[in-house]
Chain A
Amino acid sequence: DAGVIQSPRHEVTEMGQEVTLRCKPISGHDYLFWYRQTMMRGLELLIYFNNNVPIDDSGMPEDRFSAKMPNASFSTLKIQPSEPRDSAVYFCASSRTGLNQPQHFGDGTRLSIL
């Protein structure tokens, strides 16, 4: 079975540019999560969706961050404009039944903002 697929695996761009991260969850999983991982703050939940609807975006750091899920098999996390402090590894995860159930993680996108 295909796992959670994220793209790109690595992204290096200059500050001020728009960044779009993509995720394809596991088929049949109703929940999709976006996380950010840094050395200083560890794994942080940014936003999650249930059946393509955003449920809780309280973890989104600021208005420069936005996420969409136009259908059950695709989600994007966008940063516009990007800043150096956004540099981190961004993970997408999905689960079948809920936030407190085991989540399957993608391999992440390592983002570097210069």
Chain B
Amino acid sequence: GQQLNQSPQSMFIQEGEDVSMNCTSSSIFNTWLWYKQDPGEGPVLLIALYKAGELTSNGRLTAQFGITRKDSFLNISASIPSDVGIYFCAGSRYNNNDMRFGAGTRLTVKP
């Protein structure tokens, strides 16, 4: 089955810096989702993308569905300490009984 490659695995940044992470696949996806997971909790949806080229924002977060439909990006602007956590991408193909998750990007924000 298709694999999702998420990078970077981890990031250590200063408060106020911008962050960028991405997911790529060798297969085409119809849906890209970005989740955040805090310690001891389940993943929480941040942004959902359904069209190639789509650019969607949620506060300081912006995500894009790549034109090739094989990748997606998540950017966080002006990071704050509560942005700490693990960010997951997830993708699925229409009419395909499969939702794949990336391995996650662990974000640490230093005050």
Contact = CB atoms under 8 A, between A and B. Distances in A.
B42 A99 contact: no
B75 interface: no
* Range class of the B interface residue count: 20 to 34
Interface of A: 4, 33, 42-45, 55-56, 58, 91, 93, 99-108
Interface of B: 30-31, 33, 35, 40-45, 48, 88, 92-94, 97-99, 101-104
B43 A105 contact: yes
Contact of B33 (A4, A33, A102): A102
B41 A103 contact: no
Contacts of B93: 100
Contacts of A43: 43, 88, 101
A39 B92 CA distance: 22
